[in-house]
A and B are shown apart, each in its own frame.
Chain A
């Protein structure tokens, strides 16, 4: 089977830093990506890691350790607009099929 585990909810303060973890067990692995989804909207792409290490894109960074089947999304200088659900997703085939994690609902407090 395929499973991606994330915390269901995280709460943080505006301006702070938050890390959302993702562990996965999949039949194949070609890369880990992160998506943001606001209520009622479609997911939007944040980052993609195919190799171990840290990828930085503005306030967001993503990390991958393939040996640990683990990754995380780091959000810095949190803003109220960052309140949303965040999904990790694993590309499980060369045909680019991806499987989503259960999602983490991030709430930002002033």
Chain B
């Protein structure tokens, strides 16, 4: 149990375009999901907390108009990188909290490697 699916696993886009990344909890409902960003050989940096039915909470320094988050249902959160630039190239990972987090911990999606050219 406690599976989170993330799609796409990788994407290449042109500078100036937008990219949408989906995060789904497959076998549990998640009122809260988290979006992280990871540069090579670095830690996971929390970007925002996605709340079902309400606005996302962004971490300091993260541009909310650039990284649009929508959590329209209890099983789906999306991150849209708008007007992407090469410096946005990174590994984006979502996580969700299953009901029994003591056993499952925070379950992560498989990640999306974004390359902006």
Contact = CB atoms under 8 A, between A and B. Distances in A.
A95 B101 contact: no
Contact of B43 (A46, A96, A100): A100
Contacts of A50: 102
Contact of B111 (A33, A41, A87, A98): A41
B108 A98 contact: no
B106 A42 contact: no
Contacts of B107: 45
B111 A42 contact: yes
B62 to A, nearest CB: 14
A35 B105 contact: yes
B43 A101 contact: yes
B108 to A, nearest CB: 4
B82 interface: no
B78 interface: no
Interface string A73-110: 00000000000000101000001111111110100000
Interface in B1-18: 6
Contacts of B46: 97-100
Given A42-B93, A95-B32, A33 B43 contact: no
30 contacts: A33-B105, A35-B105, A41-B111, A42-B6, A42-B93, A42-B108, A42-B109, A42-B110, A42-B111, A43-B44, A43-B108, A45-B106, A47-B105, A48-B101, A48-B102, A48-B105, A50-B102, A87-B44, A89-B106, A96-B106, A97-B34, A98-B46, A98-B106, A100-B36, A100-B44, A100-B45, A100-B46, A101-B43, A102-B43, A105-B41
Interface of B: 6, 32, 34, 36, 41-46, 49, 93, 97, 101-102, 104-111
10 closest residue pairs by CB, A with B: A45-B105, A42-B108, A100-B44, A42-B111, A100-B43, A102-B43, A42-B110, A43-B108, A96-B97, A103-B43
